[in-house]
Amino acid sequence: MSTSLWTYEPYLVPVEPASRVTLGEGHTPLVRSKRIGPELGLGNLYFKLENLNPTGSYKDRFAAAFSGIMRQKGQRLCIATSSGNTGAALAAYCAAAGIRCVLVIVDGAPLPKVRQMQLYGAETISVRGFGKDSKVTSDVFWELSRISKRLDAPLPVSAYAFCSEGMQGVQTIMYELIDELGPVHVFSPAGGGGLTLAMAYGAQLYGRGGATGLPPKVHCVQPEGNDTIASALRSGLDTGTAIPRSTTSVSGLQVPNLLDADEVVRQCRILGGNGHVVTDTEVFDMQKRLAQQEGIFSEPAGAVALAGLARAAASGEVGRDEKVVCLVTGSGFKDMSSVERYFELPEMPVVETEDMEDIIGSNG
């Protein structure tokens, strides 16, 4: 099988083979939970390991789809915004395509993600308050839109509101899930909502052709410090709820503006999904449990879906025998600062050779 998202070529914006840029993205592992699922009372919990894409997140699917479009059009400059993963993905794929990449980074983005972008050769700029304050964020997008038009350069922000062509690449996650499992519950983390909307659109487009004719149910999970979509979906509102400032410490989900929010509410409701709000503490707890009980090293944002599922399971919203998938969106190596900040890990002793047996035996 092909190891790129072009397996699903009929569902993507057409790009001639000579212009496509692929680093082996897509067809990520889908692994069954060994311990957390049974502890939650769920017999069929799976994790979609998007952290194993080439640059460490699902955003490689976005970058692969859109870099081919840029290359086909002969564009030589890419301007984009990022809290980390989008920037790393675009930087890598632009490097492979020979395209200059300029990235405007949100305030407080993890330094390892920024360094990853820079090593790929991207030029990075940080704007104070961007990604936290809604007015600053709106101003940045307005100014970048003006600049990109003047320079005739694309502005591939990973949201349908800005770049539906690239987001079609993200929909391939759902196509893979349907091919492997059929109708499932999919729990997706959300900041601006692009990933969750990609899952919903993918379910609508691809999910009705199976044996049951039923698409997956897509659930939106958000940290309470950036609850622009989840509570609105749960409470029956028709639109998302703007907030003046994002207060969550979960990097990547600090998006106070309503990018794809309204459409996420609409599409998830059509599919029978719900909204789930979790605390940052729950997220970091699940990040640790994923590592220590499943052997999966996720960044905090990648543990948000599981935190939401835990709440849904506790309230009986998901049946024991139903198939459930949590999206693990990015690698823990991208945000090592959160590991240092939120987890009390033991100091490593330095000993002499003859001391090893006593220590290993006493801890056994």
DSSP string, 303-352: GHHHHHHHHHHHTT-S-TTS-EEEEE-BBGGGGHHHHHHH--PPPPP---
Intra-chain end-to-end CA distance of the chain, in Å: 44
Class level of CATH domain 59-165: alpha beta
Per-residue pLDDT, 75: 94
- Among the listed residues 33, 326, 32, the one whose alpha carbon sits nearest the alpha carbon of residue 185: 326
pLDDT grade, residue 208 (50/70/90)? Answer: low
Residue 296, H or E segment: none
Neighbouring C-beta atoms of residue 345, cutoff 10 Å: 8
285 pLDDT higher than 60: yes
Contact 148, 154 (CB under 8 A): yes
Tokens 């039923």 locate to 214
Q: Write out the E strands in the chain.
A: 30-32, 45-49, 77-82, 100-105, 123-126, 185-189, 217-223, 275-278, 324-328
pLDDT grade, residue 304 (50/70/90)? Answer: very high
pLDDT grade, residue 331 (50/70/90)? Answer: very high
Neighbouring C-beta atoms of residue 128, cutoff 10 Å: 9
pLDDT grade, residue 1 (50/70/90)? Answer: very low
How many alpha carbons lie under 13 Å from residue 300 in its C-beta half-sphere?
30
Residue 196, H or E segment: helix 194-206
Per-residue pLDDT, 45: 98
210 pLDDT higher than 60: no
pLDDT grade, residue 211 (50/70/90)? Answer: very low
Per-residue pLDDT, 339: 81
Tokens 């047996």 locate to 357
Contact 299, 51 (CB under 8 A): yes
- Among the listed residues 278, 277, 279, 289, the one whose alpha carbon sits nearest the alpha carbon of residue 343: 289
Burial class (CB in 10 A: 0-12, 13-18, 19+), 210: middle
Please name the residues in contact with 292: beta carbons below 8 A apart, sequence gap of 6 or more.
none
Please give the CATH number for the structural domain made up of 5-57+168-342: 3.40.50.1100
CA distance linking residue 289 with residue 311, whole number of Å: 15
Tokens of 225: 């410090």
> Distances from the Cα of 310 to the Cαs of 13, 64, 302, in angstroms?
36, 33, 14
337 pLDDT higher than 80: no
Contact 223, 283 (CB under 8 A): yes
The model's pTM: 0.92
CA distance linking residue 129 with residue 132, whole number of Å: 5
Per-residue pLDDT, 238: 95
Q: Where in the chain is the domain with CATH 3.40.50.1100?
A: 5-57+168-342, 59-165
